[in-house]
Structure 1
């Protein structure tokens, strides 16, 4: 298992899917997990520290854990099977609970608990982080190389 940062929730332009992005800093890969709009809202609101007028489901679960003096030790993304991500909640009393990945992440964000991801899942589903500015700079350099002439390097006296 490797620790990942929850970068946030994004909507994909091409197909309007909503994804939560998990970043593995060691490999610099991002794991996008498709989630529903309610889970996206729950994660985004918790990350932004926005209060809700009434407790959402993830707030209720956090409050129940507090009431019974149990902590969420960590959320683990344990497997990817047929395009479905599987997660487990690891509790301070030793219990491990099966969970949807989006729910595990939403609860972890609310409890400031770490999120870990199977190295195999990162290797399978992870995509490289693209630095747009760096990519544009490389493209300008390629364009320069395509059009450069020896005269570009002579000194005008």
Structure 2
């Protein structure tokens, strides 16, 4: 799976935040509702924004490295009662239970593949109405020219400056 991007669905009741994964060889995409903190953790790496201090996902990758291991891949293994279940797979074969959003954030930092079980794709994947120019533009995000990368970082920073945490809370004020 490839990371297509992080999107805010404004027409949803609570302005849902989605991370969208795209099949490597196919036309299906997997939208996963995630929290705002995880969205920022994913989008900052995708935008190439350096962070002044390590975040939680950076810490996990650093701890695995310091322990003499490596992260081999992450896998979205099942859809259980509407929740995506994932695992971080270490080079020794050990599997660590994870939320899908955290697993994706870790995969980006460790620069490893995100895999998704066929059963999950069969149950939850959609075909997005996106033309090939849009897909290519998104997939080349990791190889953008410096000027274009700087523009995307500036655009993302502007988004972060204008976002309000209440945009992601339910009617009772609790975060989703």
TM-score (norm: length of structure 2): 0.71
- Over residues 1-47 of structure 1, what are the superposed CA-to-partner deviations in whole Å (9 max), with x where a residue is unaligned? xxx10111111121110010011132311100000000000001111
Count matched residues: 130
Question: 5+ unaligned residues in a row in structure 2: which ranges?
Answer: 133-176
Structure 1 runs of 4+ aligned residues shifted over 6 Å read none
CA distance in structure 1 between the aligned counterparts of 2:121 and 2:7, rounded to whole angstroms: 19
CA distance in 1, matches of 2:125, 2:6: 16
Match of 1:98 in 2: 97
Equivalence for 2:10: 13
> Does the 8 A contact of 1:24 with 1:122 survive in 2?
no
Instruction: Name which one, 1 or 2, has greater alpha-carbon Rg.
Output: 1
Within 5 Å, give how 1:31-42 maps onto structure 2: 31-42=30-41
Distance 1:38 1:66 in 2: 24
Q: CA deviation at 1:132?
A: 6.3
Gaps of 5+ in 1: 134-157
CA distance, structure 1, for counterparts of residue 60 and residue 81 of structure 2: 28
The SS at the match of 2:79 is strand
With normalisation by structure 1, the TM-score equals 0.79
Q: Distance in 2 between matches of 1:107 and 1:25?
A: 19
Q: What's the RMSD between the two structures over aligned residues?
A: 1.4
- Report the Cα distance in structure 2 between the residues aligned to 1:21 and 1:39, rounded to whole angstroms: 13
